[in-house]
Amino acid sequence: MPERTPYIAANWKMHKTVAEAAEFVDALLPRIAATQCDVVVCPPFTALAEVVERRRGTAVRVAAQNMHEEESGAYTGEVSAPMLVELDVEAVVLGHSERRQHFGETDEALARKLPAALAADLEPILCVGESEAARDAGETEEVLERQLQTDLGGLDSAQISRVVIAYEPIWAIGTGRTATPEQAQEVCAFIRDVLRMRGAAADEIRILYGGSMKPGNAAELLALPDVDGGLIGGAGLDPEDFAAIVDAAG
Ligand code: PEP
């Protein structure tokens, strides 16, 4: 089985001014200088350029938190993949549950965004996850399979192999509740099976867990065979906590 490099990403959501972003990067870099992991920071659009410049020459990569599928057009308030690439942004989070819940992001829109991201050479971090009601109803796998099949519907198997998947149970995001290691492993293994059935190089795809990952629980989650990293919200705002999670990833 190929070795998968651990992938640890901080999703800042709508947090941090440009000055605060600069402070974070300056504090983070010395703390993770020796890491072998892929370390990614996902600032709001306004702080992307600052983070890109501050991390130049380091292993830290930069991701946006969303993008529009068209290259340009009459889409007030939106930002396109080529605009992100022009800033030297390397990746983009797509389908975060907050975008699905508050901004009407649909699986159909994601099926258009994923090919657009790859065409621009942005690495997509696709978020999928079930609600608490779906889990309680025993529908977790059904929900995830539907999201994956639709969201990845515009990609061939080689393109799917270039996507990073983040499993984020909605009930665990920002709640302090974490999936148990058994739940995280079970779902991430299921996701890998779905990717394999789509013909992708499933053993090479990084599958992240996200949902209240903290320095105190990261090592246990990151040691699971099908969990290849984390998408971190709250703990990703603090350079010390985030560096501790990077450390736990090895
Ligand atoms: C997230 O926003 O993707 C997330 C996982 O948040 P938190 O770590 O705060 O639960």
Token pair belonging to 114:
């994923």
Best residue among 173, 221, 222 to mutate for probing ligand 1, ranked by most atoms within 8 Å of CB: 173
From the CA of 230, give the closest atom in ligand 1: 5
Q: Is 96 a residue of the active site?
A: yes
Catalytic residue of the set 50, 69, 96, 130: 96
Kindly give the distance from the C-alpha atom of residue 163 to the centroid of ligand 1, in angstroms, as a whole number: 19
Q: What pLDDT, on a 0 to 100 scale, did the predictor assign at position 108?
A: 97
Best residue among 11, 13, 16, 164 to mutate for probing ligand 1, ranked by most atoms within 8 Å of CB: 11
**pLDDT tens sequence across 117-143:** 999 999 999 999 999 999 999 999 999
Q: What pLDDT, on a 0 to 100 scale, did the predictor assign at position 12?
A: 98
Ligand 1 neighbourhood includes 218 CB (under 6 angstroms): no
Question: Does residue 1 surpass a pLDDT of 60?
Answer: no
Q: What pLDDT, on a 0 to 100 scale, did the predictor assign at position 2?
A: 62
Kindly give the distance from the C-alpha atom of residue 173 to the centroid of ligand 1, in angstroms, as a whole number: 5
Considering only CA atoms, which residue is closest to atom 1 of ligand 1?
A: 233
Distance CA 232, CA 240 (A): 13
Exposure string for 179-192, b = 16+ CB within 10 A, e = fewer:
beeebbbbbbebbb
Q: What is the DSSP letter of 122?
A: P
Angle, helix 18-31 to helix 239-249, in steps of 10 degrees:
40
Q: How much of the chain, in percent, has pLDDT values that exceed 90?
A: 98
pTM here?
0.97
Ligand 1 neighbourhood includes 169 CB (under 6 angstroms): no
Distance CA 150, CA 126 (A): 12
Ligand 1 neighbourhood includes 95 CB (under 6 angstroms): no
E strands, the chain, are 7-11, 38-42, 60-64, 91-94, 123-128, 164-167, 207-210, 229-232
Q: What pLDDT, on a 0 to 100 scale, did the predictor assign at position 250?
A: 84
Q: Is 182 a residue of the active site?
A: no
**pLDDT tens sequence across 52-108:** 999 999 999 999 999 999 999 999 999 999 999 999 999 999 999 999 999 999 999
Kindly give the distance from the C-alpha atom of residue 72 to the centroid of ligand 1, in angstroms, as a whole number: 30
User: End-to-end CA distance of the chain, in Å?
Assistant: 18
Instruction: Name the amino acid, one letter, at 206.
Output: R
Ligand 1 neighbourhood includes 211 CB (under 6 angstroms): yes
Ligand 1 neighbourhood includes 73 CB (under 6 angstroms): no
**pLDDT tens sequence across 40-57:** 999 999 999 999 999 999
**pLDDT tens sequence across 135-185:** 999 999 999 999 999 999 999 999 999 999 999 999 999 898 999 999 999
Instruction: Name the amino acid, one letter, at 102.
Output: H
Mention every residue, 6+ apart, whose C-beta is less than 8 A from residue 57.
Answer: none
Segment 201-222 shows an average pLDDT of 97
Backbone angles phi, psi at 93, to 5 degrees: -80, 130
Ligand 1 neighbourhood includes 160 CB (under 6 angstroms): no
Segment 200-227 shows an average pLDDT of 97
Question: Does residue 37 surpass a pLDDT of 80?
Answer: yes
Considering only CA atoms, which residue is closest to atom 6 of ligand 1?
A: 233
Ligand 1 neighbourhood includes 245 CB (under 6 angstroms): no
Q: What pLDDT, on a 0 to 100 scale, did the predictor assign at position 3?
A: 85
User: Which among 190, 192, 96, 93 is positioned nearest to 135, based on CA atoms?
Assistant: 190
